[in-house]
Structure 1
């Protein structure tokens, strides 16, 4: 029997408390223009190269924020990425670890990661 499930992740849902503020924050750190509309009053789709991101205020609660990174953003230069985020006053929760990655929090407390690929 052929497997109908693709070996590919389509999108990652991130719980956020305020969809407009989250949209603006994520678009800012990713260097994207906040375009498109909030869908159904609680979803904002960020089109990425590869797996996408959906910000979702309907699934948010303080106990549902990511306590550990469930994915990472890629970079070609971890030092430059670290200083970029630091200059944007992002809540950095680790230094650069093993010359390879660092963790930070979004405004809702989700722990995220940037990793040099």
Structure 2
């Protein structure tokens, strides 16, 4: 029997500056910026479900997400889209098929919002 569970613990995102990435993601998601930056390059965003692990040590242009590796969830895609516009987030698509859109973080990682 395997000792590996069927749960994700976290998803790593390469970021160029750990403090500014922490501030951007926390602001976007309505999270406190309190918490430790581990080893001077890791910040864990505590989410419901798998956490996001921001990591400046793995940052390199070739490591930037060119396509979404995961999706953020919203219960109202139109409201989420307008919120992103108000935050001046770089939107890379409009709302597609009535239930998702893509956007970029300040480092250029492509992320997805889905209802």
Same fold, judged at TM 0.5 (above):
yes
Q: Name structure 1 gaps, 5 residues minimum.
A: none
Q: Name structure 2 gaps, 5 residues minimum.
A: none
Aligned to 1:25: 24
For 1:1-117, list aligned pairs within 5 A: 2-116=1-115
Q: Runs in 1 of length 4+ with deviation above 6 angstroms?
A: none
Q: CA deviation at 1:3?
A: 1.7
* d(CA) in 2 for partners of 1:46, 1:78: 22
Number of aligned positions between the proteins: 115
* d(CA) in 1 for partners of 2:43, 2:50: 15
Q: RMSD over aligned Cα, in angstroms?
A: 0.5
Q: CA deviation at 1:33?
A: 1.2
Q: TM-score, normalised by structure 2?
A: 0.98
